[in-house]
Amino acid sequence: MEALREGMRQEMERDPSVFVMGEGVGPHGSCFKQTEGFTAQFGEDRSRDTPISELAIAGTAAGAALLGMRPIADLMWIDFSMLAMDQICNQAAKLRYISNGQVNVPVVYRMTTGRSKSNAAHHSGSFYSWYINTPGLKVVVPSTPYDAKGLIVSAIRDDGPVIYLEHKLLLNMRGEVPEEAYAIPLGVADVKREGADLTLVATGAMVGLSLAAAEALSKEGVSVEVIDPRTLMPYDGDAILSSVRKTGRLLVVDEGYRYCGFASELIALVAENAFEVLRQPPRQLTPRHTTIPFSPPMEEFVFPDAARIAGEIRAMLGITAQGESSNG
C-alpha cells in the first residue's frame, strides 16, 4: 500500500497533469488508504472525491484523459467495475483505434482484486480475463511492494488505458522499495525463483504461495522455477517459453477461473510454440468454479494454497507424499 502510494505521489509531483479521483480518495485517503495525505499535499482539485457511480468515474476519467490529463481512477473493487464496463471497454479501450491514432487515453483504472478474508460473493472477484480480452487495454497485477511501485509509475506514464489491480491480501505485504522513482516496463516478466524441473507461472497473491511451495519442495530435491508475469496483457510470452524449453513442464497457478482464463491462454501459448519439449501435458491450478463463499473454511476450500500447489507439482513429477517416485 505504501509503495503504491509513494509511486503515485512521486508521479503527481513530477507531472501536474496526474490526479486521482474516486469514492473517498480525498481527505479520507481512499478505502485502503492508498491516497492518504494527497488532499493535504495536492489539494482537492488533484485528489477528487466523486459520487458513488463507477460508470461516472470511469467515463469522466476517460474524458479527462482525452483532454490531456492523466487521471488515476479508483474503482475500489474489481467486482464494482462491472458497472463501468461500457466506459472502460467500449470507450477508453477503443478511442485511439477508432480515431486512427488522433487521440490518446492515458488513464489508469485502479481496483482491488482477489480473495480476502470472508469478503464473500461481491468483493472477492478476479475477473481480469474480461479486460485481457478487450483490445486496447493493458492489465497489471503486481505481487510485491517493489513491483507495485515500479508498475504504477509505468502505468501512469503509459499513453493508453491501463487496468491496475491490487490484490487485497498483498496490501499489507512488506518488502524493500527504493525511495527514488523508478519504472518497471509493462510486459516484462520476472523470474522470482530459478529452477530446472518445472516452470510455475503464478499471478498476484499466488506468487508468494507458489514460492512457499517451491521452497518446501526444494527440501525434497525438486527444483521449481517460479515466474511472475506482472503484466497479464501484454504478457511476456518469450520468458515463459524460454523457461518451459529448459524444464519441459508447465504449471500455471492463477486466481482467475480456469475457463477461458489467463492460465488457459498460457497453456495454449506453450502448446502452440513449445509442444515438442513438453515431457507431459501442462496443467493449471485455479479456484474451484463457484461463487466465492463467505464461510472461512469453504473459502479456503475454493482457493489454491501452498499445500495444493506442492501437491500438484508432486503429481506432475510422479512423486508421492513420502517422496517416492510413482513412475520409477
Q: What percent of the chain has pLDDT over 90?
A: 92
Band of residue 323 on the pLDDT scale cut at 50, 70, 90: very low
pLDDT tens profile 259-271:
999 999 999 999 9
The better pLDDT of the pair 228, 328 is held by 228
Exposure of 223 by Cβ count < 10 A (0-12 exposed, 13-18 middle, 19+ buried)? middle
pLDDT tens, 146-180? 999 999 999 999 999 999 999 999 999 999 999 99
* Residues taking part in catalysis: 123
The structural domains of the chain, ordered by start, are 2-170 (3.40.50.970), 190-317 (3.40.50.920)
Residue 326 reports pLDDT greater than 60: no
Q: How would residue 121 be classed by pLDDT, with cut points 50, 70 and 90?
A: confident
What does the longest C-alpha to C-alpha distance in the chain come to?
67
pLDDT at 321: 59
Per-residue confidence (pLDDT) for residue 74, from 0 to 100: 97
Average pLDDT, the chain: 95
Distance from chain centroid for Cα 163: 9
- All three cell numbers of 77, joined, read 473493487
Distances (CA, A) of 286 to 82, 194, 257, 268, 302: 22, 22, 6, 16, 9
- CB-hemisphere CA count at 13 Å for 318? 7
Share of the chain above pLDDT 70, in %: 98
Query: What is the per-residue pLDDT across 67-81, written as a single tens digit (0 to 9) for each?
Result: 999 999 999 999 999
pLDDT at 328: 33
Which grid coordinates belong to 210? 507458489
- Burial label, 259 (beta-carbon count in 10 A; 0-12, 13-18, 19+): exposed
Helix (H, G, I), strand (E, B) or coil at 274: coil
Least confident range from 86-100, 183-197, 307-321: namely 307-321
pLDDT band at 327 (very low <50, low <70, confident <90, very high): very low
**Whole-prediction pTM:** 0.94
Asked whether the predicted pLDDT for residue 140 surpasses 60, the reply is yes
Nearest to 167 by CA among 252, 107, 78, 50: 78
Tell me, what's the pLDDT at 117? 86
Q: Cα 157 to chain center, whole Å? A: 18
